């Protein structure tokens, strides 16, 4: 059996990328090359660099990264597709004698990779267009109310204006006659049959879980300020100039981008945009931590505790270099 694949996960601003780059340097010094598979739903999009804290050009040159800049912001990319891509990449990386490490905080991607997702119907462009047209006429809250009658379990966890997920839930029902909650309840253990699947691989999760939420919130605020100073609003202006993009796309609904888009549409003030973006990022971090704390089979480090990241580095290095 192949050695288990190391996965480094954690909430936004917890230090995942920095740890993985230090790990790559340490392995390189011992004549081993690491390749990073990004487990981040926003990093897949081209032209979204500053607001996603995408690795710099220098970092991308130093260490080979995957699942970054692989599609346009208006192109779909799913958790199931990530699971398929990641498993193929593990095999490819190992075939050339290097070490794959998966790094990121999109926990739905982790679930798809480690446990699989129910094989719900794929998107239907015609049905999606019909729902989009209907929403423009009567509004997403009305469609949310319709969903509540069809699938109350799914509707209960969605906000009335969550257009992307309301549309998907209605689409699944219209295609299959079965609700999304029914599909999810089945929860099979595979994401599908992939020809190049790494059948013997298992996933070893290292979780960076900050203990002091206040410090994490301060880091999130500082990082957003750095993004603004680096030209984040200019980046969003360039996205807005693309006629193929609109605020209901999953890419544009990413944390920070959604708030900046609204500000540039004169729907909020700069101060409101800044506060809303920081709050949304903190809420994202909270959801990520909740996901991680619900996972029992993991090795956990507090990245805000003194010496903990050094301990995590040693642990990861020892794990990857131990005898097969």
- Report yes or no: 208 and 312 within 8 Å, Cβ to Cβ: yes
Percent of the chain with pLDDT over 90: 73
Region 73-91: mean pLDDT is 92
- Whole-number pLDDT of residue 130: 86
Residue 236 CA to residue 49 CA, distance in Å, equals: 10
Task: Check residue 254 and report its DSSP letter.
Answer: S
- Whole-number pLDDT of residue 15: 94
pLDDT tens for residues 95-125?
Answer: 999 999 999 999 989 988 988 776 778 778 8
Nearest CA to 252 out of 219, 312, 242, 67 is that of 242
Q: What confidence tier does 8 reach under pLDDT thresholds 50, 70, 90?
A: very high
- Whole-number pLDDT of residue 197: 42
Domain boundary assignment for the chain? 5-117+188-321, 125-186
Asked if residue 192 has pLDDT above 70, the reply is no
- Whole-number pLDDT of residue 111: 86
Asked if residue 7 has pLDDT above 90, the reply is yes
- Whole-number pLDDT of residue 242: 97
Nearest CA to 100 out of 213, 160, 20, 173 is that of 20
- Whole-number pLDDT of residue 129: 85
Name the CATH code of domain 125-186 (choices 1.10.3720.10, 1.10.10.60, 1.20.120.420, 1.10.20.140): 1.10.20.140
Q: What confidence tier does 60 reach under pLDDT thresholds 50, 70, 90?
A: very high
- Whole-number pLDDT of residue 2: 60
Give the up-direction half-sphere exposure of residue 68: CA atoms within 13 A in the CB hemisphere.
22
Entry pTM: 0.79
Region 272-289: mean pLDDT is 95
* CATH code for the domain defined by 5-117+188-321: 3.40.50.300
pLDDT tens for residues 201-256?
Answer: 589 999 999 999 999 999 999 999 999 999 999 999 999 999 999 988 889 999 99
Residue 100 CA to residue 85 CA, distance in Å, equals: 13
β-sheet with 5-9: strand ranges across = 65-66, 34-38, 99-104, 5-9, 203-208, 299-301
Q: What confidence tier does 196 reach under pLDDT thresholds 50, 70, 90?
A: very low
- Report yes or no: 38 and 65 within 8 Å, Cβ to Cβ: yes
Asked if residue 198 has pLDDT above 60, the reply is no
- Report yes or no: 92 and 266 within 8 Å, Cβ to Cβ: no
């Amino acid at each position: 059996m192949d050695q288990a694949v190391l996965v480094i996960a954690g909430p936004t601003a917890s230090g995942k990328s920095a740890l993985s780059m230090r790990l790559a340097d340490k392995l390189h010094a011992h004549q081993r090359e690491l390749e990073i598979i990004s487990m981040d739903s926003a990093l897949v999009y081209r032209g979204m660099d500053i607001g996603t804290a995408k690795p710099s050009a220098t970092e991308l040159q130093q260490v080979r990264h995957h699942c970054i800049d692989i599609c346009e912001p208006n192109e779909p990319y799913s958790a199931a597709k990530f699971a398929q891509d990641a498993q193929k990449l593990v095999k490819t990386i190992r075939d050339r004698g290097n070490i794959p490490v998966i790094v990121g905080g999109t926990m739905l991607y982790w679930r798809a990779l480690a446990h699989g997702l129910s094989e719900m119907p794929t998107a239907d462009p015609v049905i999606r267009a019909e729902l989009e047209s209907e929403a423009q006429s009567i509004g997403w809250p009305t469609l949310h109310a319709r969903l509540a009658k069809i699938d109350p379990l799914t509707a209960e966890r969605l906000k009335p204006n969550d257009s992307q997920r309301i549309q998907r839930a209605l689409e699944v029902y219209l295609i299959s006659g079965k609700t999304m909650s029914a599909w999810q309840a089945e929860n099979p253990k595979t994401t599908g049959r992939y020809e190049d699947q790494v059948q013997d691989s298992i996933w070893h999760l290292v979780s960076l879980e900050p203990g002091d939420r206040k410090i994490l919130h301060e880091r999130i605020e500082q990082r957003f300020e750095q993004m603004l100073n680096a030209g984040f609003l200019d980046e969003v202006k360039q996205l807005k100039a693309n006629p193929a993009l609109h605020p209901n796309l999953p890419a544009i609904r990413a944390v920070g981008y959604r708030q900046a888009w609204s500000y540039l549409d004169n729907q909020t003030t700069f101060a409101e945009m800044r506060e809303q973006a920081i709050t949304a990022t903190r809420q994202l971090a909270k959801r990520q931590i909740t996901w991680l704390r619900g996972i029992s089979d993991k090795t956990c480090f507090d990245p805000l505790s003194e010496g903990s990241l050094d301990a995590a580095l040693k642990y990861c290095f020892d794990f990857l270099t131990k005898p097969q």
